[in-house]
Every structure is written in C-alpha cells, then in structure tokens.
Amino acid sequence: MRIKLHTRFQNSAGERVRIVLNLKGVAYDYVAAPPVTSDAYRAINPQGLLPTLEIDGVTVAQSMAIIELLEELFPTPSIFPADPILRAKVRGFAQHISADLHPINNRRVRKYLETEMGQSEAAQMAWYRHWVAVTFAALEAELKRCDAAASFCFTHQPTLADFCLAPQMANARRFDCDLAPYPLLVAIDARCRALPAFAAARPEAMPDYSPAG
C-alpha cells in the first residue's frame, strides 16, 4: 500500500493526520502541495482544501474522514479510548474544533472578510481571536469537569481530541491569542508536543517549512 499525504507545513488539519500516521507507525510520502486554488491541486482535491490522502492512487478529502479511514485500516493503537461514553466525549471535543472553530477561522474566510467585506487586518484578527476565545473557553470548561488526573484530554493516552487540540493551539499562538485563561489546554498541549508522534508532525519538522510562513 502506497500512502501519500498532500499537505503543507502550516496545514493544521493536515497536522492532525500527520500525528495519526506517526502514532500508528504508518509510512507515507509527504507531498508539499501546490496552492489550493491552482488547477494542479483542484485536480487532486476538488474541495480545494488541505490535506488530501492518496492511497494507491485513490484520493480522500477531509482530515476527519482520513483519520477515520486510517483507524479502520490500522486499528492499533486506537485513536479512541475504550469506554463508549469517553469515545463520544472525545468526538464531541474534536468536532468542536474541527467543525465549529477551524472552518470559520480558515484562511479563505479571512481573505473573504478582507477582499469582499472590506475588513481591516485588525478586524480580521479580532474575528479570529474572538472565535478562538469562545471555543477554548468551552473546551477548558469541559475538561475541568473531567478526570483531574488525566494527562491528556479525558484520558491517559492521547486521542482524537488531542490530535485536534495541539495544532489548533499552535494556530492560536501564531495569531497571538491570549492562552492564559486556558491552563488545562496549555498543559495538555505541552504534554502532547513532548511526544515524538506530535513533535514529528509539527510545521517546523516538515520538509517545506519556511520561518517566513
């Protein structure tokens, strides 16, 4: 089986997938994608979003669908805890990031705010930080109600919730969001980043990394 991941170093949805591939020990080719608006990339993924997984020439879009596919193909170690209630909580936490927060702060949304709605850089940043604050406050409150001894979100092993959280924390830092109100998220993120599977998926570790962004 030949697996390619079309992504870019700053592609945080792709970073979720990279973490899962690393954690499951799945070998893959890293393909630094052309611009998402280019015909070359649309030919790979008509959705025009990163990442795309390619398995033996067949492409799959959407990071969460890709992660589910990897879980089915390579079940060990699982991305979920064993307990069904905790599994649902993990999914709910991950979806609050992947389905509620990430899409509205995406680059194309910010670009639309600028070019079509005439919003300044300051207004775009206010938008970005507002939705991070709303979402992170909810995630922090949720974790506060859970097992205080858990090292990661909900459990003692990193799960899909952590795979979504860590790249989102990096994005929040990149956009100078205040993380002081979220000590649990900050502590869990630090534990994640210390793990080899997460460290090897970071933007800085990618072959196309550029400090200029």
Ligand X SMILES: N[C@@H](CCC(=O)N[C@@H](CS)C(=O)NCC(=O)O)C(=O)O
**Closer Cβ to ligand X, 13 or 170, answer by number:** 13
Part in contact with ligand X (CB under 6 A); list of ranges 21-29, 60-68, 82-90, 138-146: 60-68
Instruction: State yes or no: residue 7 binds ligand X (CB under 6 A).
Output: no
Q: Which of 6, 12, 94, 97 binds ligand X (CB under 6 A)?
A: 12
Please, which residues have CB within 8 angstroms of residue 165's CB and are 6 or more apart in sequence?
93, 97, 139, 153, 185, 188, 189, 192
> Which residue bears the tokens 């092993």?
157
Q: Which of 21, 44, 50, 185 binds ligand X (CB under 6 A)?
A: 50
Part in contact with ligand X (CB under 6 A); list of ranges 101-109, 114-122, 148-156, 198-206: 101-109
Determine contact, residues 18/7, Cβ cutoff 8 Å. Answer: yes
Instruction: State yes or no: residue 106 binds ligand X (CB under 6 A).
Output: yes
Instruction: State yes or no: residue 11 binds ligand X (CB under 6 A).
Output: yes
Question: How many Cα atoms are found within 13 Å in the side-chain-facing hemisphere of 198?
Answer: 22
Instruction: State yes or no: residue 168 binds ligand X (CB under 6 A).
Output: no
Burial class (CB in 10 A: 0-12, 13-18, 19+), 79: buried
Instruction: State yes or no: residue 173 binds ligand X (CB under 6 A).
Output: no
Amino acid at 108: R
Tell me how far the alpha carbon of residue 113 is from its chain's centroid: 23
DSSP type of residue 101: I
Provide the pairing of β-strand 52-55 with 3-7.
antiparallel
Instruction: State yes or no: residue 78 binds ligand X (CB under 6 A).
Output: no
Q: Which of 21, 23, 44, 64 binds ligand X (CB under 6 A)?
A: 64
For binding to ligand X (CB under 6 A), which residues are involved? 11-13, 36, 49-50, 62-64, 98, 106-108
